[in-house]
Amino acid sequence: MSGKAISYGRIWDFAIPKTVDESRRWVLSAMQSHGQGLVTMLWRILGNEQDVCDAYQNTFLRLAHYEGRGKPEHIKAYIFRSASNMAISMLRRRTAERKRLSATAATRGRATDKDASSPANELDSKYLQETLRRCIAQLPEYLRNAITLRDLAELSYAQIGRILGISPGTARVYRCKAIQLLAVWMNKERQKKD
């Protein structure tokens, strides 16, 4: 993940504080305060430098144009929730595109779904990561937020509770439910491939 540090550095180089008017400097301050954690979370969700850069940029554009150029009450919560939702949307689009391409290839007599599910491919870590990302994207929003903030952003349950407006205990229960659902879905995926 050395690319992560490089990506964050590249992203920040373009944010030149001198060009921003005084009323919008809080956006740059938020970028400096939360940018590295945000990049870390996005890398874990997306696993691809270009997607991370796109999600990062779009997150701060949303922040800069928040409701009539106002300022959200909980900036960190807004940033992390917006970024995780954006990343999940990107994964969903990627999955839909992959399905479309698979269907096209199958009609042309190329690789079939059975070829894609061979034991060699199943053991491939990239395949498992994509399957897990797809399953995370299918979780209900409250479970997806809890597992994303805990396991991908590495926040404590107390921090998650503050961000989502729930108690730390509820955040722990949501994460537990998310893990249980993911285990069932991943097992079904494995069985489909066998």
User: 78-124: per-residue pLDDT in tens?
Assistant: 888 888 888 888 888 888 888 887 777 666 654 444 455 555 554 56
- Say yes or no: 105 and 13 in one domain: yes
68: pLDDT strictly greater than 70: no
Phi, psi of 92 (to 5 degrees): -65, -40
Helix (H/G/I), strand (E/B), else coil: 70: coil
Range of the domain at 42: 1-116
pLDDT at site 11: 46
- Say yes or no: 70 and 16 in one domain: yes
- Say yes or no: 87 and 124 in one domain: no
- Say yes or no: 187 and 94 in one domain: no
Residue 78: count of CB within 10 angstroms of its CB: 19
Q: Please tell me the total count of domains within the chain.
A: 2
Q: Which of 65, 96, 116 is the last residue of a domain?
A: 116
How far apart CA 47 and CA 34 sit, in angstroms, is 19
Full-model pTM:
0.48
- The percent of residues above 70 in pLDDT, for the chain, comes to 75
- Say yes or no: 133 and 101 in one domain: no
Half-sphere exposure of residue 134: CA atoms within 13 angstroms, side-chain side:
16
- Say yes or no: 144 and 111 in one domain: no
